[in-house]
Amino acid sequence: MLNDVEEILLSAEDIENRIKELAEKISSDYKGKELVLISVLKGSMFFTADLIRHISIPVILDFIAISSYGEATETSGVARIIKDLEENIENRHILIVEDIVDTGLTLGYLMRTLKLKNPASIKVCTLLDKPVRRILEVPIDYKGFEIEDKFVVGYGLDFLGKYRHMHFICTLKPDIIGIEGRTA
Ligand code: 5GP
């Protein structure tokens, strides 16, 4: 696995430190409210697990899974929910926890879908943001890191289902990503 790594962009320590800051800000912003975290599977699983453990106010956790149709390293914007929420989010304060916002199409779809359920408020927390790739403008309220236009894996993010379990976030060597991948 380590042989496949091209460059480590964010170390486990970088990630941990930033998550503590995000959790502190979220805890202070939602003080006095009950927060419902909606973790978008599978990419944000480690981010969610670490973030929620640093949040110091009452919080409910739920999961949603979306399948987006596209290539291994690109989103098409056409999506469908493959695992829906268990919580009723009507009149509740929800925070979507994403691994990465790239074109913004997936998040746009998710926000439109969740808004139909009439939450009291809806905000977004993403670990990574690739602003140069944006097609659809989406509001990001809490952001871990902005990164360049590179396809990254690790800390929950995968390539063809692999590399999620790595502690850091990195790029893969071009021969691993192959001809269908994007390296810049
Ligand atoms: P968007 O709809 O914003 O283009 O893409 C969102 C989804 O595409 C993310 O939740 C993630 O699953 C996937 N994605 C976008 N960029 C990357 C990346 O650099 N690495 C990985 N592993 N997945 C990505």
Residue 31 CA to ligand 1 centre (angstroms): 31
What integer pLDDT is reported at residue 184 of this predicted model?
34
List, run by run, the mean pLDDT of 10-residue segments along the chain (184 residues). Answer: 95 98 98 97 97 98 86 69 96 98 95 97 98 96 97 97 97 85 42
Does the C-beta of 106 come closer than 6 Å to ligand 1? yes
| Active site (annotated) includes residue 102 | yes
Residue 169 CA to ligand 1 centre (angstroms): 13
Closest among 21, 68, 14, 59 to 40, alpha carbons compared = 68
What integer pLDDT is reported at residue 103 of this predicted model?
94
What integer pLDDT is reported at residue 183 of this predicted model?
38
* Domain extent listing, the chain: 14-149
- Tokens 């074109």 locate to 103
Closest ligand 1 atom to the C-alpha of 101?
A: 3
pTM over 0.95: no
What integer pLDDT is reported at residue 180 of this predicted model?
47
CATH architecture, range 14-149:
3-Layer(aba) Sandwich (3.40)
What integer pLDDT is reported at residue 68 of this predicted model?
72
Does the C-beta of 99 come closer than 6 Å to ligand 1? yes
Catalytic: which of 50, 99, 102, 129? Answer: 102
Concatenate the DSSP letters of all residues of 148-178 into one string: -S--EEBTTB-BTTBSTT-SSEEEE-HHHH-
Helix axes 45-54, 12-29, angle to 10 degrees: 50
What integer pLDDT is reported at residue 76 of this predicted model?
63
What integer pLDDT is reported at residue 79 of this predicted model?
81
The answer to whether 157 and 171 have CB atoms below 8 angstroms apart is no
